[in-house]
Amino acid sequence: MVSAGIGLGATQANSLFASPVKRVSAMDKIRVGAIGINGMGWADLSAMLKNNPETICTAICDVDEAVINKRTTDLDKDFNMKPVKYGDYRKLINSKDVDVVIIGTPDHWHCLMEVEACAAGKDVYVEKPCGNSIAEIRAMVAAKDKYNRVVQVGQWQRSNAHFQSALEFLKTGKLGKIRMVKTWAYQGWMSNIPKKPDSAPPPGVDYDMWLGPATKRPFNPNRFHFNFRWFWDYAGGLMTDWGVHMIDYALLGMDAHDPISVMASGGKMAYPDDASETPDTLATVYDYGDFIMLWEHAQAIDNGNYGKDHGIAYIGNNGTLVLDRGGWKVIPEGKRMEAPAEVKRSDDGLANHTKNFIEAVKSRNTSILHTPIEAGANVAKVCQMGNIAYKTGKKLYWDKQKDQFTDADANKFITPNYQNNYTLPKF
C-alpha cells in the first residue's frame, strides 16, 4: 500500500493507519469524515447528517481550498457543525475522531482510500464505481475482508422502495422466461467539452495530490472536478458513471455475475473533435448463456428506449418490465399476462441508503447492507469488461476460473499502471 508517494509495506501501513477506533454503540455519536466534497461526496455527507441524527461530521478533506471553505460554511449554516479541515486525506483517515469515512473523490482514488481507511479500522461509504479497474476492485473487496469493516457502495437505487418492489414482481415469474435485459442512459444535457489549453492549477488546489496514482500531466480545466469522468486516467465515461446504476439492477434482477462474453462498439460520434476521451455513443452486448444484456449510452440525446432517458427493461416471453428512477410499469405481450398497476417513486433512495449504512455500522451486521462492496464490485467489474471490449475492439471471452479474459491484449487492461511512486495494494 502506498500513500502520497511514500512506499509502505503492509505491516508498516497497518501501523501508520491503525488508530484506535471505538466500537459504536446505540448511544454513541458516529463521527463522519468526508474526502472529496464537491459533488456526490457532499450529497452523501448531507444525506447522512440529515437522515441519521446519531451522526456528526468531525472532519472534511479536499484538494481544493475553495471547496473546503464553501463546505465549512455550509456545515456551519445547515448543521451547526465545525469539522477539522484537511488537505491531505491520510490525516483524516488517521484521525482518532473519525469512525466512518465517506469517499467522494474521482474514481481513480477510490481504491487507495478505501484500502487505507479499512486498514485504519474505519467503516467506509464509497462512491460508485467502487474502483477504476478490475484489479482495484479486487483489492477493495480484499481489504474489507481482511480488516472486517462495513463498506457500502453508493448505488443508492437499491434503497428505493420502487426498485425493490420491481424486483419482487420480477421474481414472481409472471413475465415468463427473461431472455433479454436492456440497460441504457441517453443524456441530452451533456453537450460537447470544448478544448482548452493547459494552465497553472487554480490557487489553493493541490494538483499533485489530485492526480495521485494517475499519469502526470499538466493541469487542464477540462480534466478537473465534474468532467474528470470523460478521461480514462480517472474514470470510465458514461459506462461507469450511469452504467453501474442501471447494469447493477439488471444483474441483481437476473442474479448474474460474470458474463461468458462481451463485445462493444461505439466512439465519439456526437462530438468527435471535443476534449473528452471516452465514447459519447456506445452499444455493449453481454452474453450470459440463457439471456443477453445490452448497455447503450448516448450523449446529447434524451429519447432513449421506451421514451425514457435511462432505465432497465426485463424482456420476457409474457411481457416487459420497464424500470427507471421515476417508477416502473409492465408492458404485456398481447394477452399473455395482465399488467399490474404502474408504480411511482415514493421515497428518497439516497436518504434510505445512508440510513441502511449507519444501521449496519451500529449493528456490525454487514448482511443488511443494500450495496455491500461485493455487489459494487460485481457491477463495476462488468462495466470495466465493457470498456475493455470497446478499447480492444474485440469480442472477449471471460475465463471464470482464472478470473481473466482468454485474450492477452484484453488482460493488459485489468491492472492499472500506478504512477508517481504510488503502488496498487495487493493482498
**pLDDT tens digits along 164-212:** 999 999 999 999 999 999 999 999 998 899 999 999 999 999 999 999 9
Q: Using CB atoms within 10 Å of the CB of residue 164, give its burial: 0 to 12 exposed, 13 to 18 middle, 19+ buried.
A: middle
Q: Residue 28's pLDDT band (boundaries 50, 70, 90)?
A: confident
Whether residue 13 is predicted with pLDDT greater than 90 in this model: the reply is no
pLDDT in tens, 259-282: 999 999 999 999 999 999 999 999
pLDDT in tens, 236-254: 999 999 999 999 999 999 9
Task: Please state, in angstroms and rounded to a whole number, the distance separating the CA atoms of residues 185 and 250.
Answer: 13
Q: What is the pLDDT of residue 18?
A: 40
Q: How large is the average pLDDT for residues 52-77?
A: 97
Which cell numbers in the block locate residue 263?
463485445
Task: Please state, in angstroms and rounded to a whole number, the distance separating the CA atoms of residues 202 and 187.
Answer: 29
Beta strands in 199-358 (DSSP E): 261-267, 281-287, 292-299, 310-316, 319-324, 327-332, 343-344
Cβ neighbours, 10 Å, residue 249: 25
Q: Residue 338's pLDDT band (boundaries 50, 70, 90)?
A: very high
Query: Residue 81 contacts by C-beta under 8 Å, 6 or more apart in sequence?
Result: 49, 56, 57, 75
Q: How large is the average pLDDT for residues 356-360?
A: 98
pLDDT in tens, 84-120: 999 999 999 999 999 999 999 999 999 999 999 999 9
Q: Residue 9's pLDDT band (boundaries 50, 70, 90)?
A: very low
User: Cα dihedral sign for 240, 245, 250, 254?
Assistant: positive
Higher-confidence residue of 24 and 421: namely: 421
pLDDT in tens, 364-399: 999 999 999 999 999 999 999 999 999 999 999 999
331 touches 319 (CB < 8 A) = yes
pLDDT in tens, 112-157: 999 999 999 999 999 999 999 999 999 999 999 999 999 999 999 9
Task: Please state, in angstroms and rounded to a whole number, the distance separating the CA atoms of residues 347 and 320.
Answer: 24
Q: How large is the average pLDDT for residues 346-354?
A: 98
Model-level pTM?
A: 0.93
Q: What is the pLDDT of residue 254?
A: 98
- CATH (residue range 161-345+381-411): 3.30.360.10
What length is written for the chain? Answer: 427
Query: Residue 418 contacts by C-beta under 8 Å, 6 or more apart in sequence?
Result: 2, 213, 424
Please give the C-alpha separations between residue 193 and each of 38, 202, 226, 228, in angstroms, as whole numbers. 20, 19, 12, 11
Whether residue 12 is predicted with pLDDT greater than 70 in this model: the reply is no
Report which of 291, 336, 337 is spatially closest to residue 314, judged by C-alpha positions.
291
Q: What is the pLDDT of residue 16?
A: 35
Domain ranges of the chain: 2-158+351-373, 161-345+381-411
Q: What is the pLDDT of residue 191?
A: 87
- CATH (residue range 2-158+351-373): 3.40.50.720
Whether residue 17 is predicted with pLDDT greater than 70 in this model: the reply is no
Whether residue 318 is predicted with pLDDT greater than 80 in this model: the reply is yes
Q: What is the pLDDT of residue 27?
A: 53
Whether residue 19 is predicted with pLDDT greater than 60 in this model: the reply is no
Task: Please state, in angstroms and rounded to a whole number, the distance separating the CA atoms of residues 361 and 152.
Answer: 10
Task: Please state, in angstroms and rounded to a whole number, the distance separating the CA atoms of residues 65 and 89.
Answer: 13
Please give the C-alpha separations between residue 288 and each of 270, 313, 320, in angstroms, as whole numbers. 30, 16, 19
CA-derived radius of gyration, the chain: 21
Mean of all residue pLDDT scores within the chain = 93
